Amino acid sequence: MNSEINTSKKPASILGVREYKSLLSWLSSVDHKQLGIMYITTSLMFFLAGVSMAMVMRTQLIKPNHHWLSPETYNQVFTMHGTTMVFLAIMPMLTGFMVYFTPLMIGARDVSFPRMNALSYWLYLMGGILIYFSFFTGDTLHAGWSAYAPLTSVNYSMNKYLVGTGVDYWIVGLLLTGAGTIMAAINILVTVADLRPPDMKLTRIPLFVWMSSINAVLMLLALPALNAALVMLFMDRHLNALFFNPAAGGNPLLWEHSFWFFGHPEVYILILPGFGIVSEVIPVFSRKPIFGYAFMAAATVAIGFLSFGVWAHHMFATGMNFTVYYVFALSTVLIAVPTGIKIFNWIATMWGGSISFDTAMLFCIAFIIQFTIGGLSGVVFATVPVDWALTHSYFVVAHFHYTLLGGTLFTVMAGFYYWYPKITGRMLSEKLGKIQFWLMVFGFNGTFFILHFAGLAGMPRRVFTYPDLPHLATINLISSLFAYVLGLGILIFFANLVISLFKGKPAEDNPWGGWTLEWATSSPPPPHNFDRIPPVRSIRPLWDLEQSEKQPGAVAPPSQKGESA
């Protein structure tokens, strides 16, 4: 439909693009599309590692008083599972999508700072490798991804039963990846500010670009807080600083405040691009525009602001004074409101539409329901006295897996099924996709819904085993069995990714009938992205073009050379 716009010769798939054939072209790339693919591929490798760790954890927890893994090993596994998933798998996967699609969706040729883009990726890879290197020293961090001081701030490297040098690899690795993230954030923001075509006002950019931009602001302002916390921790460990040393007047709560000041915006960093993906997919597969575009954008800005004002809700059980708790309880319940706005707007987008159940859309539908559950269990925690009962238990584990797995991961899957054709020039198998989808829905909900009850039954988190108390054995057995189902679904996803690259049906420019600018070029796009871009009169340039083709003369012809100064 739109192939007249793009006059470059279309390669059969990404494997056939001449500029991407050599390894050197990848290692030295400053092309945002190659870098986006590198981000996504690397994060998929770390994701696989994180999933394997999860399977190991659920196997260890399959029955009470199980001594298959030692506490040391289990503690390292759960720590690295969290660290991997947050820092090395999900955040970079989302960054990869942002880096790949933001320029395309605004009709640009690349990001504003292509070399800095490359540096961000390599810092991520190096940091990740450094963190994983700690496995070779036999002394990986084993204090949880939140690494509370003073457990981690005293350098007990001589006593391997306490916390050893693994912390240091973790600290330095995260400082590296954090630097990369801040640079990526700067890049995204400057790109969106600077490289839009003149007619693409901010009220006409796709919601994915809105969410990516706000996300970039969060990354910009939250990661430095982590860096400050890591620096203080490193100094306590190696320069005998006293930040978290209670005997000298230091306060372990300073770590908690610093870490969570970063940590809470971090979890919004982990979901906002996903919100963006869903805001693109649902309209296309419902064949109508997103409902309430302005409110969606405004709600996201509100979430961005509020996300910096809720951090102490992770500390309700630390014995601080009630005034502090009132403030944070209020901000926490408030942040539920803009999130709720989004849920209703997505449903309203489907309403009156013509919904087709391609895999990408299936993942969005499941996401809406699962993320609602996750958000609501979050509201449970905002009720402070209930938090006193349920924090640090499996109820929390259930809550954040509903938002991060049932939420973010499902949006990522939607993103893959929607955009894989654009990136690679091949369609993913819908058949495998649907099998994967149902395995994941059953597997995920089966694993985690029941863990709410484990928390209510008194099971704390971060334990390598648990006593044979009422219900715990049954709950954990069911959870572990469903975890294997979830794992199988994820394996099928990987199989689909690989097989489709070689055997997938070749993809047209716009296989889904999308309306944003990435669909106005070939699949995959040529290295320079666009020969021309259509005029941008609304949030759906290709819809407008289609309408004008039905009524010629109603809209001006495509502009020459899509780049702006």
Partner 1 sequence: MDTFTSVLKPVTKEGFDILSSFYIVLGVAAFIFVIVAALVVYAVIRFRRRKGREAKQFSENLWLEVLWISIPLLIVAGLFIVTVRTMSEVNPPVLGNKPDLTVVAHQWWWELHYPQSGVTAANEIHLPVGKHLLLRFESADVIHGFWVPSFGQKIDVIPGHPNYIWLTITRPGLYLGTCSSFCGMGHAHMRLRVFAQSPEDFNAWLAHQRQPVSPPSAVGATKGVGVFMEKNCVNCHSIAGLMTRGRAAPDLTHVGSRTTLAAGTLPNTPENLAKWLKNPQSVKKGVRMPDTGLKTDQIKYLTAYLEGLK
Partner 2 sequence: MNKIRLAMLLFVASEAVFFILLIVAYVVYHATSPSAADASRYLDVPRTAVFTACLISSSFTMWLAGFHFRTGRRRPALAWLLATMALGTVFLAGQGSEYVFLISKDVIISRDLFGTTFYTLTGFHGLHVFIGLIMLGTLFGLELKRGVTGPPEAVESVSIYWHFVDAVWMIIFPVVYLWVLR
Asked if 241 touches partner 1 (CB under 8 A), the answer is: no
Closest distance of CB 521 from partner 2, Å: 23
Local structure of 460: helix, strand or coil: strand
**In this structure, is the dihedral angle defined by the CA atoms of residues 194, 196, 200 and 203, taken in order, positive or negative?**
negative
Residues 6+ apart with CB under 8 A from 139: 157, 160, 164, 165, 166
Which pair of tokens denotes residue 87?
Answer: 């820092």
Q: Annotate each residue in 330-349 with x if it binds partner 1 (CB under 8 A) or - if it does not, as one string.
A: x--xx-xx--xx-xxx-xxx
Among 52, 172, 199, 292, which residue sits at the site for partner 1 (rule: CB under 8 A)?
292
Asked if 161 touches partner 1 (CB under 8 A), the answer is: yes
Q: Annotate each residue in 123-142 with x if it binds partner 1 (CB under 8 A) or - if it does not, as one string.
A: -------------------x
Surface-to-core class of residue 155, CB atoms within 10 Å of its CB (0-12 exposed, 13-18 middle, 19+ buried): middle
With helix as H, strand as E and coil as C, how does 71-138 read? HHHHHHHHHHHHHHHHHHHHHHHHHHHHHHHHHHHCCCCCCCCHHHHHHHHHHHHHHHHHHHHCCCCC
Which residues from 439-458 bind partner 1, rule CB under 8 A?
455-458
Which among 245, 346, 274, 335 is positioned nearest to 94, based on CA atoms?
274
In b/e form, how buried is each residue of 95-114, taking b as 16+ CB within 10 angstroms?
A: bbbbbbbbbbbbbbbbbbbb
143, interface contact from partner 1, partner 2, none, CB < 5-8 Å by kind: partner 1
Q: Annotate each residue in 352-391 with x if it binds partner 1 (CB under 8 A) or - if it does not, as one string.
A: xxxxxx-------x--xx--xx--xx-xx-xxxxx-xxxx
172, interface contact from partner 2, partner 1, none, CB < 5-8 Å by kind: none
Residue 308 CB neighbours (<10 A): 17
Local structure of 275: helix, strand or coil: helix
Which among 508, 543, 520 is positioned nearest to 107, based on CA atoms?
520
Which pair of tokens denotes residue 208?
Answer: 């994915």
Which pair of tokens denotes residue 160?
Answer: 């391997």
- The residue count for binding partner 1 (CB under 8 A) is 92
Closest distance of CB 132 from partner 2, Å: 26
Among 1, 231, 380, 435, which residue sits at the site for partner 2 (rule: CB under 8 A)?
231
In sequence order, the β-bridge partners of residue 393 are: 460
Asked if 121 touches partner 2 (CB under 8 A), the answer is: no
For the chain, what's the residue count?
Answer: 565
Q: Is the peptide bond before 557 cis (omega within 30 degrees of 0)?
A: no
461, interface contact from partner 1, partner 2, none, CB < 5-8 Å by kind: partner 1
Asked if 537 touches partner 1 (CB under 8 A), the answer is: no
Residue 469 CB neighbours (<10 A): 11
Closest distance of CB 267 from partner 2, Å: 17
User: Rounded distance, CA 332 to CA 338, Å?
Assistant: 11
Which window, 2-10, 43-51, 122-130, 282-290, contacts partner 1 (CB under 8 A)? 282-290
241, interface contact from partner 1, partner 2, none, CB < 5-8 Å by kind: partner 2
Among 27, 45, 193, 317, which residue sits at the site for partner 1 (rule: CB under 8 A)?
317
186, interface contact from partner 1, partner 2, none, CB < 5-8 Å by kind: partner 2
Among 1, 55, 56, 242, which residue sits at the site for partner 2 (rule: CB under 8 A)?
242
User: Rounded distance, CA 542 to CA 70, Å?
Assistant: 58
Among 34, 79, 140, 258, which residue sits at the site for partner 2 (rule: CB under 8 A)?
258
Residue type, 263: G
Among 261, 311, 367, 543, which residue sits at the site for partner 2 (rule: CB under 8 A)?
261
- Are residues 187 and 116 in contact, defined by beta-carbon separation less than 8 angstroms? yes
Closest distance of CB 185 from partner 2, Å: 7
Which residues from 393-412 bind partner 1, rule CB under 8 A?
393
Which window, 9-17, 215-223, 291-299, 499-507, contacts partner 1 (CB under 8 A)? 291-299
- Are residues 95 and 211 in contact, defined by beta-carbon separation less than 8 angstroms? no
Asked if 287 touches partner 1 (CB under 8 A), the answer is: yes
Which residues from 456-475 bind partner 1, rule CB under 8 A?
456-458, 460-467, 469-470
User: Rounded distance, CA 82 to CA 16, Å?
Assistant: 37
Closest distance of CB 264 from partner 2, Å: 14
Asked if 223 touches partner 2 (CB under 8 A), the answer is: yes
343, interface contact from partner 1, partner 2, none, CB < 5-8 Å by kind: partner 1
Name which of 143 and 497 has its Cβ closer to partner 1: 143
In sequence order, the β-bridge partners of residue 140 are: 166
Which residues from 67-106 bind partner 1, rule CB under 8 A?
70-72, 75
Residue 170 CB neighbours (<10 A): 26
| Angle value at C-alpha 302, between 298 and 307, nearest 5 degrees | 150
Q: Give whole-number Cα distances, 431 to 79, 257, 421, 427, 487, in Å.
A: 35, 47, 15, 11, 18
Asked if 163 touches partner 1 (CB under 8 A), the answer is: yes
**In this structure, is the dihedral angle defined by the CA atoms of residues 49, 278, 434 and 372, taken in order, positive or negative?**
positive
Asked if 324 touches partner 2 (CB under 8 A), the answer is: no
Asked if 553 touches partner 2 (CB under 8 A), the answer is: no
In sequence order, the β-bridge partners of residue 426 are: 506
224, interface contact from partner 2, partner 1, none, CB < 5-8 Å by kind: partner 2
Which residues from 143-182 bind partner 2, rule CB under 8 A?
182
254, interface contact from partner 1, partner 2, none, CB < 5-8 Å by kind: partner 2
239, interface contact from partner 2, partner 1, none, CB < 5-8 Å by kind: partner 2
Among 68, 148, 305, 484, which residue sits at the site for partner 1 (rule: CB under 8 A)?
148
Asked if 189 touches partner 2 (CB under 8 A), the answer is: yes
Among 4, 23, 249, 565, which residue sits at the site for partner 1 (rule: CB under 8 A)?
249
Residues that bind partner 2 (CB under 8 A): 112-113, 182, 185-186, 189-190, 193-194, 220-225, 227-229, 231-232, 235, 239-243, 248-251, 254, 258, 261
